[in-house]
Each structure stands twice: as C-alpha cells, then as structure tokens.
Amino acid sequence: MALANSDLPRSDSPTLILAQATDAERTATWKLNGQMWRGPLSLPAYLRREQHLAAQDLTRDTGITYWILVDSATPRPVDPEIPRTILASCETLRKRALVATKGTEVEEIISHGIGSVYCNPDFRGKGYASRMMEELGKVMATFQQQGQEKATFTVLYSDIGKKFYAKNGWQPFPSSHISLPPLPARQPGCENLPRTHPLHSKDIASLCKLDEELLRKKITLFTPLGAETRVALIPDAPTMHWHHAREKFAAIEILGRHPDVKGAIIRSHHGEQAWCIWTRTFGHKEEGNILHILRLVAEGEDIDNELLRVSEADTRVSVVAAVLQAAQREADKWGMRDVQIWNPSVLVTMAARRLIPSATVIDRDADSITSLMWYGPATGMGDDVAWVGNEKYGWC
C-alpha cells in the first residue's frame, strides 16, 4: 500500500532501512526514473534496455544490485508483485579495481560504482536521498567483500554538482574534459598524421588485457609530492562491452542500425601502440549526441608526460592526435555533436591542440562530477588518495 504524504516518516526515523529491491520493486524504480532518464527511448524501450544491461557480463550473477529506501514500519504487501512504497532508489555495479600504496605490492580489490540515484518527485525535499546515501555508505564498506575484508573505495558520478554527495562522503575529484568537433569526410583534417585502423568488438578483450598490464605498472609511479595511495578501476572487457551494449540498444531503437566501429588504433615507428575505445550516446536533440572516449592508451606514456624528450613527444603527440581525429570522423558519421575526452593528460591535451589549436580543458562543476568515497583510514591507509585512469569507462 502506498503511503500518503501525511503518513511519510521523517528522514531520520529509525524505521527507515536500505533494502535490496524485489523484481517488482526494481521494475517500479525503472518506471519512476525512466520518466526523467529515458531520453529519446519510449518507456517500454527503456525498461527493455535496463533488463538488457542487467544481463551483461559485467552485471549478471550479482554484478549489479538494486537498492531502495523503505519504511520498515509499514506492513509489507503479502503479494510479492506489489512493491513497497519506495522513498528513494539506486543501484551498485561491482567493479574490479587496483590499489597501490608506497612500499607495498599492487593489490586487486572489489570496488563498486553507484548509479541511478533517484527520489520519487512526490517525496523530494524530505531528506530521503541523503538518508539512503548515508545508509549505502555504511553497507558498501563490506558489501561483496571476501571474508572479513573491508572495502577500499566506491565511486559515483554526480549530475547535481559537488555538494550533495560530498556531504554524504563521496568527495569530488578532478572532472574536466576536452571537446572536439566532428570532422566530415569531405573536410581535410590535420596533415601528416599516421594512419589509424578501426577497432571492433573482437579486438576489445586483448587490448583491455594489455591495458590492465600497463595500468598495474603505472599505478606504482608515485611522485614525491603526490598521495601515498593510488587507486584505479580496471578498464576490463566486461566494462567496455557494457557501455557498447548500452550504445547498441539505443542505436537500434532510435536509428534502426548500430555502429560496428568501437575505436581506433595505431602503431608508431617505435613499436608502441596507441588506441582509444569509444561509445556514442544519443539524446533527445543533437546536443545530447556525444561520442565519448571511454579509454585512451598510449604505450610508453609516463606518469604526467612531463619527462618526454621533445622528439619523442612530437611523435607521440602525432600518434594520439591520429586516433582522436579518427574519433572526430566517426562522430560525423553518426551525427554526434562532439567528441569528449575526460580528464585529459598532458599528452592528450597536446594532441587535441594539434587538431584544434583553440581546444581548451573544460572544468565541469555541475554534471558528471567524478566522486569517490575513501575507506582507507578504516583499513590502515592514509587520508590522501589519487585516482588513476579517471576516464569515462568508469561511469555507470
């Protein structure tokens, strides 16, 4: 039975609990948040998409968990097909991650990404979303951890600025991007760039395996004044395929076709590869159509690209510029507004400016704010942590 507004509990009520949603309650949350988040999809298509995304390698077998805030004092419906009154809802995706502390070995851990945080418009302004996040922070400290182990960190991506989640424990991290315009086939691009080759789904797994090997080395490159602990989400194949499943479903529903090219790759004369894996998002209008670089890798790239010799830098800038220009070409083919690269390194910024001299790094302060809850002090680590590989692939 749904509660009337007059019967709603206070947000600090001890009877409020965070519970895992039943199938019926999960569908009820989708119907609620789909009114805001379905974009150009119909609501039935949105519901099918959520079912589809829940069946991917990343999410199946408890890889995704659906949470709701409910009042335990309200009698639970006898019929399991009738959902409880859902005051707020969210979901968590289990993610492989790495943590490195000075003087210790790199450790692979279980982390979680938090998404789809939503409060029924009828219940907003009462503090339920904050209460849910407070309870979630406690639960995630041990959720799906092995034995008696504690979690190290969780992440989320805020579309409501920095303050709300920060007060609930998820501190904002650098959230910037560079935007490049689409490049039509008839329009000349930057000259003297090496040739790229397209990436397809079959190429993703082997590149992700190599990327993980490189990341395990990079995460140990501590700087004298940097944090003594560094963490990273692993950019593995299930993560990339989840993004591509989302892209493919939307493309078929909206356009009746789907893209086959998932990125671009190039090998320099040094024998080092550079590649990027991308995905497309489709909005109600053209401004919502964005080709996102999920992950960009340049073999041999050092921690900040500041120590490259000039000749090496010039070669590597050209190589990275070439894969970015391939993304611009692909963006034009699919009617994308722009290409976005999150938290670009020095090398990527130089490459973007090789293509568009006026390209600037845009600091976001309202949407897609990368945020991290750090449990380090509770596990014997320090207060400071650096997030390595803070790119779009981690979004959920």
Q: According to the 3-state scheme, what is the secondary structure of the chain?
A: CCCCHHHCCCCCCCCEEEEECCHHHHHHHHHHHHHHHCCCCCHHHHHHHHHHHCCCCCCCCCCEEEEEEEECCCCCCCCCCCCCCCCEEEEEEEEEEEEEECCCCCEEEEEEEEEEEECCHHHCCCCHHHHHHHHHHHHCCCCCCCCCCCCCEEEEEECCCCHHHHHCCCEECCCEEEEECCCCCCCCCCCCCCCCEEECHHHHHHHHHHHHHHHHHHCCCCCCCCCCEEEEECCCHHHHHHHHHHHHHHHHHHHCCCCCCCEEEEECCCCCEEEEEEEEECCCCHHHCEEEEEEEEECCCCCCCCCCCHHHHHHHHHHHHHHHHHHHHHHHHCCCCEEEEECCCHHHHHHHHHHCCCCCEEECCCCCEEEEEECHHHHCCCCCCEECCCCHHHCC
pLDDT of 269 reads 63
* Model pLDDT, residue 2: 54
Model pLDDT, residue 306: 47
pLDDT for the residue 224: 66
pLDDT given for residue 104 in this prediction: 83
What pLDDT sits at residue 307?
Answer: 47
10-residue averages of pLDDT along the chain (396 residues): 69 97 96 95 98 98 97 84 92 97 90 97 96 97 85 96 96 97 93 94 98 94 82 98 98 96 86 91 88 94 52 79 98 97 96 96 96 88 91 98
Nearest Cα neighbor of 160 from 129, 135, 200 is 129
Q: What is the pLDDT of residue 332?
A: 97
pLDDT at 341: 98
pLDDT at 227: 86
pTM: 0.94
pLDDT at 304: 46
